[in-house]
Amino acid sequence: MEIPFMALAELCEKLEETSKRNLMVSVVTAFLERLSPDEVEPAVSMILGRPFPRWSPRVLDVGWTTLTKIIRRLTKTNWKVFSQAFSETGDVGSAVKAVFEASKPYRQATLLEKPLTIMEVRRSFESIAEASGAGSREKRERLVEALLSAAEPLEAKYLVKILIGEMRTGFHEGLMELAVAKAFHVPLEDVQRACMMLGDVGEVAALLKTGGKEALSKVGFRVFRPVRLMMAQTAENVEEALREHGGETAFEYKFDGARIQIHKDGAAVRIFSRRLTDVTQSLPEIVELVQREVKAEKAILEGEVIAVDADGKPMAFQHLMRRFKRVRGIEETRRRIPVRLFLFDVLYLNGQSLIHEPYVERRRILSETSGEIPLANQLVTRNAQAAEQFLKMALDEGHEGLMAKRLDGDYTPGIRGKKWLKI
């Protein structure tokens, strides 16, 4: 028996009404326990306001403008109700609920249909994401319209929130990890660790549902499955960075480019962007470079690509952007806007996770693995003046500034902490 989408909508409604975290976690825990294996990942994604898992390349391509048109059509003359509800609540979902309630009579025919289920909603999202080619815009609209017209007002509220990515229930990913740990009776740390590796809490939950604890303990890095990035906080100046890192730290050039995660398995190489989308196609020379230089069978590396001019000097970020989403004319743009790669971290090497190794050790391993690929210029020092000078050098060479990396810092995927500071 498939769980109705209404149950998920009611759950979200409860989450929205409270700000008590323990309460939120316990209602979600109870909900997760009711789901069948197939429903777990879709439900977890939807509760977090996402139509698909985080790493999925699928996108709905439905924005606010498109949705507005559809809702107008579905609710006919009651548009004023929407505007008023929207200005009162400031919440698109609530306004949609109000207008759906007001226009029930117009939508009578649909009330006889069977209730929507979570799985049907997921399948509908898949169809919407798949639409492409001539006529796809209209097809997408029709699919969204069909989905919404099968929905009760409360369901419509949350469908719309998921469609445009504005869940705002206050139930974020960290709390979901807690709920998953409770629902499947495993330690929170194990769930967090698996989420780092798989990049998506929904997938972790699904894994627990089908394979239990054992499956969870087997989770490790998988080449070609991108890992969430470690992020930096800001520091005012080099002194603050030194102080924060206990007197001594590693400064690295911070480049005005795009951060990439490089996965290699034999001759196969794939490149992922910051948001973990696959950008391999846009950067053919990086693929070749990695194939040629990286001295490892399997590896997950991190670096920054920047655009350079004919003399190899850094160009403004906009030039790099012209390479990124490009599908056509890649070869020509490749000649016009060359890119360079600077590596700065290694997370995984030949079957071994390195994220618990300290920064200095990872950097050492990286230097032994990277062949002729340059690493980000580095200065390990406890001297503020030397650091200042290094910063000036970076800026003079046209780069953005410096990063400061704690020498004994491990790699914490998805976390923005003080182990890395940008200056």
Residues identified as active-site: 254
Q: Which of 201, 197, 117 is nearest to 152 (CA)?
A: 117
Given a contact cutoff of 8 angstroms between Cβ atoms, the answer to whether 140 and 131 are in contact is: yes
Q: In what order do the strands lie in the sheet with 352-353?
A: 268-272, 258-265, 298-307, 339-349, 352-353
Q: Does 284 engage in binding with DNA (CB under 7 A)?
A: no
Chosen residue from 9, 121, 179, 279 binding DNA by CB under 7 A: 279
Considering the complex, state which of residue 235 and residue 349 has its C-beta at the smaller distance from DNA: 235
* Contacting residue, 267, 328, 350, 396, with DNA by CB under 7 A: 328
Answer for which of 33, 61, 288, 397 binds DNA (CB under 7 A) is: 61
363-422 residues in contact with DNA (CB under 7 A) are 415-418, 422
Spatial distance between the Cα atoms of 184 and 178, rounded to a whole number of angstroms:
10
Name the β-bridge partners of 278.
272
Report if residue 275 touches DNA, rule: CB under 7 A: yes
**Distance separating alpha carbons of residues 39 and 83, to the nearest angstrom:** 35
Among 72, 142, 168, 334, binds DNA (CB under 7 A): 168
Phi, psi dihedral angles at 189 (to 5 degrees): -60, -35
User: Alpha-carbon distance 195 to 303, whole Å?
Assistant: 22
How far is the C-alpha of 59 from the C-alpha of 136, rounded, in Å?
A: 14
Query: 327, exposed or middle or buried, with CB in 10 Å at 0-12, 13-18, 19+?
Result: exposed
Interface with DNA, residue 246, by CB under 7 A: no
| CB closer to DNA, 133 vs 266 | 133
Q: Which of 67, 154, 206, 290 binds DNA (CB under 7 A)?
A: 67
Q: Which is nearer to DNA, 227 or 349 (CB)?
A: 227
- CB of residue 33 to DNA, shortest distance in Å: 22
SS3 state at 115: coil
Coil, strand or helix at 343: strand
Query: Per CB under 7 A, which region of 161-169, 263-271, 341-349, 373-381 contacts DNA?
Result: 161-169
The residue to which tokens 């398995």 are assigned = 265
Q: How far is the CB of 188 from DNA (least distance, A)?
A: 12
Binding status of residue 66 toward DNA by CB under 7 A? yes
Residue 315 contacts DNA per CB under 7 A: no
Per the DSSP assignment, residues forming a β-bridge with 254 are 401
Q: What is the Cα–Cα distance from 43 to 61, expressed in whole angstroms?
A: 20
Structure tokens at 97: 């609920």
First to last CA, the chain: 55
- Residue 63 sits in the site that holds DNA (CB under 7 A): yes
- Going across the sheet that includes 231-234, the strands are 231-234, 416-422, 401-405, 249-254, 378-381
In angstroms, what is the minimal distance from the CB of 403 to DNA?
Answer: 10
Contacts of 412 (CB under 8 A, 6+ apart): 230, 355, 419
138 binds DNA (CB under 7 A): yes
Cα 279 → chain centroid: 14
Q: Which of 259, 315, 360, 361 binds DNA (CB under 7 A)?
A: 259
Q: Per rule CB under 7 A, is residue 224 in the interface with DNA? A: no
236 interacts with DNA by CB under 7 A = no
- Using CB under 7 A as the binding rule, whether residue 329 contacts DNA is answered as yes
Q: Smallest distance from the beta carbon of 258 to DNA, in angstroms?
A: 4
Stretch that binds DNA, among 71-79, 103-111, 321-329, 391-399 (CB under 7 A): 321-329
Minimum gap (Å) between residue 69 Cβ and DNA: 8
Interface pick for DNA out of 73, 80, 123, 172 (rule CB under 7 A)? 172
The token pair at 45 is 């994604």
Q: Quick check: 268 binds DNA (CB under 7 A)?
A: no
> C-alpha 199: how far from its chain's center?
8
Task: Count residues binding DNA (CB under 7 A).
Answer: 54
Q: What CA–CA distance (Å, rounded) separates 134 from 139?
A: 9
Which residue of 30, 34, 36, 59 would you call a contact of DNA, by CB under 7 A?
Answer: 59
Among 21, 72, 104, 334, binds DNA (CB under 7 A): 21
Q: In the range 30-49, which residues lie near DNA by CB under 7 A?
A: 49
Rounded least distance, CB 416 to DNA, Å: 5
Closest to DNA by CB, 358 vs 401, is 401
Q: In whole angstroms, how large is the CA radius of gyration of the chain?
A: 24
132 binds DNA (CB under 7 A): yes
19 touching DNA, by CB under 7 A: yes
CA 7, 13, 17, 22 dihedral sign is positive
Chain residues that interact with DNA, rule: CB under 7 A: 19, 21, 49, 59-67, 132-138, 166-168, 170, 172-174, 231-234, 256-259, 273-275, 277, 279, 317-318, 321-322, 324-329, 415-418, 422
